[in-house]
Structure 1
Amino acid sequence: MTITTRRLIFWGLVIIFFTITPLIIAYGLGYSFDWQKKTFIETGSFYFASSPTSGTIYINNKASGKTNKYIKRLLPREYEIVIKKDGYQPWEKRLKIESGIVTEARNILLVPQNPKIEIVQKDVAQNFSLSAFTLTKTEKQKIELASTTANTFFKNSPYQLVNDDIFYLKITDYILYKTDLGKIKKQQTSLEPLPVDSYKISVSPDEKSIAALGKTGRLFLLNAGQRIFEEIAASNIKDVQFSPDNKKLFYYSETELVVLYLDKILIQPYKEKGQKETVTRFSEKINSAIWYPEDNEHIIFVVGDTVKLIELDDRGQRNIYDLVKMQKFAKGTWENPQTIYDSKKERLYFINNNTLYSLQIKTGQLW
């Protein structure tokens, strides 16, 4: 081998080294070549977590593994995401990848295609209470004691029992008070009276947030710092409910369901404290709504003769599912629908035509 050949080989290797090394370093740092923009771009990642797990992830129609999973080295742009699992309705969303950022969807709920519905009890009484049906013996005893205390000491005042405390609105001055079950302690919670009306009191599980819903449809939320009620909806509100994790509440009119964030949400999609969002609108009447307490990121509600479930994640579009269509297995119209979710048994209960039914959303199978 001549010296000239050796020099050519040496300098060729040097050129290859200085050409390939930056590419290897760039790849190791998470960069990929974008053929559309003809340049190297820092990539991003997806993270998907679903209940149940093992749903197949499709990114732009290409299978990319199963939940729960990180998917790395994706160029910044929007992607069509579909997650499928046999026996479940697909979850679909358009999500954006940004350079150096993990885009997350941690609360994906895969809803059964045909959840089995079980008749729990026939010929239930007209005054049958679903909430009482799901209570434990201890919880029932507390409610009975609270009722006795209310009838004895502040009769006709609206109240709510939370933990071992009773919050009640004194009808003589429309001021909110708090006492314990034994009425040993008493403290004034609000400083200024609410407008004259008939109210329903709702208190969050941690007792830090309190709402008052008037019969006229006006909704007030207690400003804990100033200890005064502030109006958050002027009319037509039918009900309000705090989430079990205390971070949000929803309220609804006959046609609109709204969520209000009571705390800053630090997981994607991020939300600011005080942020309001219209979750859904319908031309049909919204009859009732409850939180899905397994993740606090879905709401179950009744429209017409259909029980539906909707997610709060508003990126792309919200996934909304039909859980039950009453006309498929029950005759007549669904009047005054009652629904409740029992976290202990992981069952959704509902009543139609004096019959109590249940189904399990989490697995699509009954206990």
Structure 2
Amino acid sequence: MTIGFRRFIFWIFVILFIAASVIITMLAQGWRFDLDSFKMVRTGGIFIKTTVSGAKIYVNDKYTGSTAGLLNYTKLVDDLAPKNYNLFIHKEGYYPWNKMVEVKNGLVTELFSVTLFPLDIKKIKIAQLPPQKISDFRIIDETIKIINNKKTGIANVYAIKGQFISSEKFKISTSTELISPDKNKKLYASGNKIWIEYLNDIKEEPSKKAGEKEIVATLELPILFLDWLKDSEHVIWFTSGELTITERDNRGGKRNSVKFYLNINPPIFWDIKNSDLYFFETDKEKSILYKINIE
């Protein structure tokens, strides 16, 4: 073997080593050859945080695992080429969640507020009170404060188990603007539309600028109740016989919504901290306070 040939073999191995090193480095950094676009792309991922453990995740109808964790139930689906994916999340006994999710070149799309709501919500009896006309009421510090006539502003106060305590002056706020728990958004109804106005910049996706407004829903029936969920990412409202919860996130051109059909009448009290919806059923003999929990 001549010296020239040996040098040739040596440089061939050097070139192969350099090429292999470059390829390994690019693969480690997430670069892949995309057959759809026929070019090198940097892969990204989808990070999912759900409200329940064991939620099954499907990407383009392919099972990719389940959410898990002690306090936060999360899952990272990685090594995804930059494009749109059909994301489907499901757990038995809960409404499924579905959205088209865009993965960008070398980035992770974050979904921090994937909430799975139960298919069935149970009506729980709280207290039985004497029959009375109820114009409005509140649940405060383990007491039930009932206003029979808003003009007088007198509230009958009962213990949470139903024992009468006293009557007292009590004023209920009539503001139609509802500030989110995170103080960044304002919710209100105008005509048959539900709006969100952004009070501060929202940096997390879907990002918004302070002062922006968007329509969450357009309804056919009058809105009898409207408020936020405690995560500041979902809105809840009630029309005649129908309780609806919808997410703020409209990425992929869709807001996930769930509906519960309930035979209840206003007034309604919403305990945002515990996600409890309170209402009365009244006949000639009694007024019964019930609650349903939507978590």
What range describes the TM-score normalised by the shorter chain of this pair?
A: 0.7 to 0.9
Gap change, CA 1:240 and 1:351, over 3 Å in 2: farther
4+ aligned runs moved over 6 Å, structure 1: 1-9, 137-140
Q: Write 1 or 2 for the structure with the bigger share of strand.
A: 2
Counterpart of 1:340 in structure 2 is 270
Report how many aligned residue pairs link the two structures. 260
Q: Secondary structure at the match of 2:120?
A: coil
Q: Secondary structure at the match of 1:46?
A: strand
Partners of 1:35 and 1:314 lie apart in 2 by 30
Deviates more, 1:112-121 or 1:8-17: 8-17
CA contact (8 A) 1:30 1:73 kept: yes
Opposite residue 93 of structure 1, the aligned amino acid is K
Match of 1:136 among 135, 141, 165: 141
Q: Compute the displacement of 1:130 (Å).
A: 3.6
Partners of 1:138 and 1:357 lie apart in 2 by 14
Q: Compute the displacement of 1:253 (Å).
A: 3.4
Opposite residue 79 of structure 1, the aligned amino acid is Y
Opposite residue 280 of structure 2, the aligned amino acid is I
Partners of 1:340 and 1:346 lie apart in 2 by 7
CA contact (8 A) 2:227 2:236 kept: yes
Matches within 5 A, 1:130-209: 130-131=137-138, 134-136=139-141, 200=174, 202=175
Gap change, CA 1:261 and 1:160, over 3 Å in 2: farther
TM-score when normalising by structure 1: 0.63
Counterpart of 2:122 in structure 1 is 116
Deviates more, 1:269-278 or 1:280-289: 280-289
Counterpart of 1:84 in structure 2 is 90
Counterpart of 2:224 in structure 1 is 287
Q: Deviations over 1:87-132 (max 9, x none)?
A: 111111111111122211101111001122223235663226442x
Q: Compute the displacement of 1:337 (Å).
A: 4.2
Task: Return 5+ residue gaps in structure 1 as ranges.
Answer: 141-146, 149-158, 162-199, 203-238, 328-333, 363-367
Q: Compute the displacement of 1:81 (Å).
A: 0.7
Gap change, CA 1:352 and 1:139, over 3 Å in 2: closer
Q: Secondary structure at the match of 1:121?
A: strand
Task: Return 5+ residue gaps in structure 2 as ranges.
Answer: 68-73, 146-152, 155-170
Gap change, CA 1:110 and 1:71, over 3 Å in 2: same
Q: Secondary structure at the match of 2:26?
A: helix
Partners of 1:348 and 1:252 lie apart in 2 by 20
Establish whether residue 349 from structure 1 lines up as the match of residue 278 from structure 2: yes
CA contact (8 A) 2:198 2:212 kept: yes
Gap change, CA 1:137 and 1:117, over 3 Å in 2: closer
Counterpart of 2:109 in structure 1 is 103
Partners of 1:352 and 1:17 lie apart in 2 by 79
CA contact (8 A) 2:249 2:255 kept: yes
